[in-house]
Structure 1
Amino acid sequence: MSAAETANNGALEKDVEGIAPQHSADGTSTVQPQMSTHEQEVARAAARFGYGPLAQVNTADAPLRPFGGEFQPGLYKPVADRKFGNPAPLGLSAFALTTFVLSIINMQADGITQPNIVVALAFGYGGLVQLLAGMWEMAVGNTFGATALSSYGGFWLSFAIVLTPGGFEIEETLLGKGSEQFYYSFGIFLLGWFIFTTVMLFCTLKSTVAFFLLFFFLDLTFLLLGIAYLQGGGAGTNLATQKAGGFFGLLAAFAAWYNALAGIADTSNSFFILPVIHFPWSPTGRSRREKSQREMA
């Protein structure tokens, strides 16, 4: 594969770097006519398996950038001329930890039934920090990342406002008018976020399995928790459905951490690159198949 082909493929994906142009004495740029056997093996393995342990990449010869954590579905193009770091792992980590704690409580682990401890996380980390990460995504031109991270930061802030004791007294006011008022209202609140997450899920269908699973698990979490509050009949939540929602919330939290690590780990700080598994119909998946076919020809 020539350097020109490698450059074209690089416009669609973050991939193993090709042969660098060689500069002659007069300043003109030339390319080596053929890749070495080792470079061909590296490119073929990367095209087949992607990044990760199966890629069999010699990190000393082919430095790899962090991949899969840009929070940008589709082409996964790196942001050109970025003046600061990738904000997506920060937002993903804030979302993951807050979701993890609430999901453990929803599953009533160790007999914990009240979510008050989540209020601090929802204000400080899942809310404020994630909202800031979303605004930084807007600054680098990532509309999807800005919409998702800022919205879920707003979710955690609104969640904390509802549950803050002695604050806006939303929970107390609704319970004072009958317990069903609070549970039905909160169920509708959660179902609204299920609809929003479904919209976000549609935008991940051309990305990676890791990215898709994050929104898929989160979508099921909102759906099940919304149903749990609506099914309780005003006397509480449907416990089985609530625990199921908590379980999928745990999966969403770990998927968020996985994508965050995929966006942080590179060969300067890690001995491995996490595989994110492109869908075969995605632009990157098609590009890799075409490149592999050219290499095998």
Structure 2
Amino acid sequence: MAEDSVTTAPVAPVANPAGLGLVAFGLTTVLLSLINAGILPAGGEPVVIPLALAFGGLMQIFAGVFEVRLGNTFGMTAFLSYGAFWWWFALLLLFGHNHWIDLSAVGPTVGVALLLWGVLTLYLWISTFRLPKILFLIFLTLWVTFALLGLGAIQGDAGLTHAGGWLGLLCGCLALYGSFGIVTNATFGRPVVPLGETPLVR
């Protein structure tokens, strides 16, 4: 076969699923954190349930699956894990409020669960030392948020819970900013919104 008869099909650019995953995480986190911080009433938690299932949970799971195609172990682990977190949180509220499970004697178990999510976040945060600074800040604020919320739940300390809410609000806003930067930079085809480095732009 002659060389000039061999044609190479153009490779289509791959979209960055982190933009979707971060906005799903950030928006849901902001809403819940407004409740934890005491800015919105505690009675507003049921509003978080469908958002956590349809957006915070499901869209992060989609993002995590797409990260598999890109060979991104960190993105896969983070988005699938936090997508599952939002499903766990929503189902816990849904089952508890409808008395499908008895939460009356759980004691500090929910607080311990939040601390374990903090442990997961802490080890993921270590990996962000090699990633864009926006991810470093998101995971730093997130593992401390989990620690505050977990300790607040264990000790029944509303002050710690409110502090976790305020820090979670910052974390959610950082995630929204990260998504904004990824989508904007990808759309413009060049770094427009600073993210600390450029690897998130593709």
Normalized against structure 1, the TM-score is what? 0.59
Unaligned 5+ segments in structure 1 are: 1-80, 233-237, 279-283, 285-297
Q: Output aligned runs, 1:84-103, within 5 Å.
A: 84-103=14-33
SS at match of 1:274: coil
- State the Cα deviation string for residues 113-154 of structure 1 (Å, max 9, x = none): 132211111110001111111111111211110100000000
Which residue matches 2:143?
A: 219
Q: Output aligned runs, 1:98-113, within 5 Å.
A: 98-110=28-40, 112-113=41-42
* Separation of aligned partners in 2, 1:154 and 1:249: 18
Which residue matches 1:210?
A: 134
Q: List structure 1 segments (4+ residues) > 3 angstroms apart after TM superposition.
A: 81-84, 165-168, 267-272
State yes or no: 1:254 paired with 2:173: yes
Return the letter of the residue paired with 1:212: F
Return the match for 1:169 from 81, 87, 100. 100
- CA RMSD in angstroms, aligned pairs only: 2.1
Q: Taking CA–CA contacts closer than 8 Å with sequence separation of 6 or more, which of the two structures ends up with the larger relative contact order?
A: 2
* Separation of aligned partners in 2, 1:133 and 1:147: 10
Return the letter of the residue paired with 2:125: L
Return the letter of the residue paired with 1:198: L
Are the equivalent residues in 1 in contact too, given 2:185–2:193 (CA < 8 A)? no
- State the Cα deviation string for residues 147-183 of structure 1 (Å, max 9, x = none): 000000000001111000565723xx121xx3xx2x4
* Separation of aligned partners in 2, 1:267 and 1:89: 10
* Separation of aligned partners in 2, 1:145 and 1:209: 15
Normalized against structure 2, the TM-score is what? 0.85
* Separation of aligned partners in 2, 1:231 and 1:108: 18
* Separation of aligned partners in 2, 1:168 and 1:148: 31
Identity of aligned residues (%): 37
Are the equivalent residues in 1 in contact too, given 2:122–2:143 (CA < 8 A)? yes
Greater share of helix residues, 1 or 2? 2
Unaligned 5+ segments in structure 2 are: 1-10
Which residue matches 1:195?
A: 119
Are the equivalent residues in 2 in contact too, given 1:162–1:169 (CA < 8 A)? no
Change (3 A) 1:247 1:87: same
* Separation of aligned partners in 2, 1:271 and 1:207: 18
The structure whose Rg is larger is 1
Are the equivalent residues in 1 in contact too, given 2:36–2:42 (CA < 8 A)? yes
Are the equivalent residues in 2 in contact too, given 1:162–1:168 (CA < 8 A)? no
